[in-house]
Amino acid sequence: MQTITLSSDTDFAGWRDAARALVLDGVKPADVTWMVTDSAPDLFGDDGVTPQSRAKSSVTFNVPARFVDFAKSAILHRDVERFAILYRLLCRIHADPDLMQVATDRDVALVQDMSKAVHRDQHKMKAFVRFREIGREPKNRFVAWFEPAHHIVEATSPFFARRFADMEWTIMTPDVCAHWDGARVRITPGVDRTSAPSEDRLEETWLSYYASIFNPARLKIKAMQAEMPKKYWRNLPEAKLIAPLIAKSGQSVTAMIADAATDAKPAPQRREPPMTKAHRSPTGSIEALRDEAADCRACPLWEDATQTVFGEGPKTARLMMVGEQPGDKEDLAGQPFVGPAGQILDRALKEAGIDRRLVYVTNAVKHFKFVPRGKIRLHQKPNTSELKACRPWYQRERDAIKPDLVVALGATAAHSVLGKATPVNANRGRLIELDEGGRALITVHPSYLLRLPDKEAKVREYARFVDDLIIAAGVLNDAKAA
Ligand code: URA
């Protein structure tokens, strides 16, 4: 029996060096015990080999990149057996290099599931860590408390370093703490929950921000609970707002409708809840695509974004609308067109006689691209390679929905829908036959209307936008009548 002692729970390099040497020595998985320094009991240690004490062999062997990718994340799983499972799979891959292709193999599936769980946990950490400001400038620090399900803090802290590069911050967890001083991330041992700060100014800011983005007309309690499991609620300052906001929501929706009536504006519509599990169909369905896209790494935009913002709407939609990319609000909410551009879109659709609840709404690029400016995240236009990397998602959404008409909002969407750069002004407002079936209509992006400097141009361009959407409504009516 050999005991391998790794330097930490996340010591991938140590595991890799030891595992490689063990495979080359022909050591069977059953003859290895894996331990981590802190948890390793000194009692009963036999040969106590550490990867560092093992002479590095000059002989080596190749493993598929796919295995390395999965192993790097699976090793962060909290399962104490993970090192042994990975070693067993490595031994089997050494004998059968194509094994990773066999998705039904028990070890392959185990490692893939661990890797998925780790990615999911990283996503939760990116979405739910909330910093609280401690002290006052110039000696202030932003501190957050988080309880990860897996050993993800070191691997996820570069994301926070990029996003909050200008702040000095600390993320405390029971496993380890991560500290950013503006230049590098330091990792120190974990702390007790009582070290987490409670009240401060940032909390108030966050609370009012959260209340301002909370839209009762879009309230989806089930989806909210699924996205934000209860165990995270107690660490979120805004959690205490959720119950009152939910309780108030019936009242707020009524108030919104009443406001709209006195304004003689159309009443805001309650959107259909996103597809729930009950609506799910097998692989190839929108839900299966959405799950797959949650881990998309096809371009670097996932690194700084909070999450993949996939399309949403009924799978029977006859109309699909494609925007450019999620904005700040969409990135946080995980839904397309819920911010200012979404409000214009909702209003224009209503005026054109289109029920947004019947439209499948998505974006050409599924991750928010931005540059941080202090606490603000400034939108950046996606480049062609990001657009191309993301296009397969649009194509697969379109193939799943099979709409009669795809409306491209702006140049980026037009590029994705037509597969080539297509100027908006020269092509807007006319129906274009698509090779894959159905038709496309190009119009401007609603954000363009928001950016117009003078009121007159805003009114004129908004009316043209509605006119384009009326053409879309006509196609839908013709299809219905046929
Ligand atoms: N702009 C877009 O193109 N899409 C969104 O989802 C939001 C703003």
pLDDT digits (tens, 9 = 90+) for 190-220: 877 665 555 554 455 445 545 655 555 555 5
Beta pairing, strands 176-180 & 405-409:
unpaired
| C-alpha to C-alpha distances, 234 to 172, 229, 253, 348, nearest whole angstrom | 15, 10, 27, 39
Q: Cβ(279)–Cβ(346) under 8 Å?
A: no
Residue 386 Cβ inside 6 Å of ligand 1? The answer reads no
- pLDDT over 90 at 438, yes or no: yes
Pocket probe mutation, ligand 1, options 332, 349, 363, 380, max atoms within 8 Å of Cβ:
363
Crossing angle of helices 12-24 and 65-74, in 10° steps, is 130
Q: Cβ(314)–Cβ(360) under 8 Å?
A: yes
Query: Over the chain, what is the mean pLDDT?
Result: 82
Write the CB contacts of 250 (distance below 8 Å, at least 6 apart in sequence): 216
Residue 370 Cβ inside 6 Å of ligand 1? The answer reads no
Q: 35-39, 43-47, 75-79, 468-472: which range is least confident on average?
A: 43-47
Residue 336 Cβ inside 6 Å of ligand 1? The answer reads yes
What percentage of the chain reaches a pLDDT higher than 90? 59
- pLDDT over 80 at 303, yes or no: yes
Q: Cβ(285)–Cβ(315) under 8 Å?
A: yes
Between 477 and 223, residue with greater pLDDT: 477
Pocket probe mutation, ligand 1, options 445, 448, 450, max atoms within 8 Å of Cβ:
445
Q: What are the boundaries of each domain within the chain?
A: 2-122, 130-195, 217-250, 286-481
Question: Is the bond preceding residue 138 a cis peptide, omega within 30 degrees?
Answer: yes
Report how far residue 257's alpha carbon sits from residue 33's, in angstroms, rounded to the nearest whole number: 65
Where are the strands (E) in 163-300, listed by range? 169-172, 176-180, 185-189
Please give the distance, rounded to the nearest whole angstrom, from the Cα atom of residue 253 to the centre of ligand 1: 24
Mean per-residue pLDDT, 156-173? 87
- The H or E element that residue 408 is part of is strand 405-409
415 token code pair: 């590029």
pLDDT at residue 185, rounded to an integer: 94
Q: What is the DSSP letter of 165?
A: T
pLDDT at residue 246, rounded to an integer: 62
Superfamily of domain 286-481: Uracil-DNA glycosylase-like domain (3.40.470.10)
**30-71: pLDDT as tens digits:** 999 999 986 433 333 344 444 444 445 566 788 999 999 999
Length of the chain: 482
Between 37 and 263, residue with greater pLDDT: 37
Q: Which of the four pLDDT bands, split at 50, 70 and 90, describes residue 166?
A: confident
29 token code pair: 């998985």
**Which atom of ligand 1 approaches the CA of 412 most closely?**
3
Residue 323 Cβ inside 6 Å of ligand 1? The answer reads yes
Residue 331 Cβ inside 6 Å of ligand 1? The answer reads no
- pLDDT over 90 at 355, yes or no: yes
Mean per-residue pLDDT, 422-450? 94
Q: Which of the four pLDDT bands, split at 50, 70 and 90, describes residue 229?
A: low
5 token code pair: 């002692």
- The H or E element that residue 427 is part of is helix 424-427
Mean per-residue pLDDT, 160-173? 86
**Which atom of ligand 1 approaches the CA of 324 most closely?**
3
Report how far residue 476's alpha carbon sits from residue 353's, in angstroms, rounded to the nearest whole number: 10
pLDDT at residue 339, rounded to an integer: 94
422 token code pair: 């297509």
Q: Cβ(216)–Cβ(255) under 8 Å?
A: no
Mean per-residue pLDDT, 290-308? 92
Residue 169 Cβ inside 6 Å of ligand 1? The answer reads no
Please give the distance, rounded to the nearest whole angstrom, from the Cα atom of residue 264 to the centre of ligand 1: 27
Q: Cβ(50)–Cβ(2) under 8 Å?
A: no
Between 250 and 105, residue with greater pLDDT: 105
**Which atom of ligand 1 approaches the CA of 309 most closely?**
6
Please give the distance, rounded to the nearest whole angstrom, from the Cα atom of residue 367 to the centre of ligand 1: 10
Between 319 and 132, residue with greater pLDDT: 319
Residue 327 Cβ inside 6 Å of ligand 1? The answer reads yes
**Which atom of ligand 1 approaches the CA of 339 most closely?**
7
Q: Which of left, alpha, beta for 81 (phi over 0: left; psi -120 to 50: alpha)?
A: alpha
Write the CB contacts of 324 (distance below 8 Å, at least 6 apart in sequence): 363, 364, 365, 381, 382, 409, 410, 412, 413, 445, 447
Residue 334 Cβ inside 6 Å of ligand 1? The answer reads no
Q: Which of 200, 205, 203, 208 is nearest to 245 (CA)?
A: 208
Please give the distance, rounded to the nearest whole angstrom, from the Cα atom of residue 312 to the centre of ligand 1: 13
76 token code pair: 């962060």
Pocket probe mutation, ligand 1, options 447, 450, 451, 465, max atoms within 8 Å of Cβ:
447
Give the type of residue at 465.
Answer: F
**Which atom of ligand 1 approaches the CA of 361 most closely?**
6
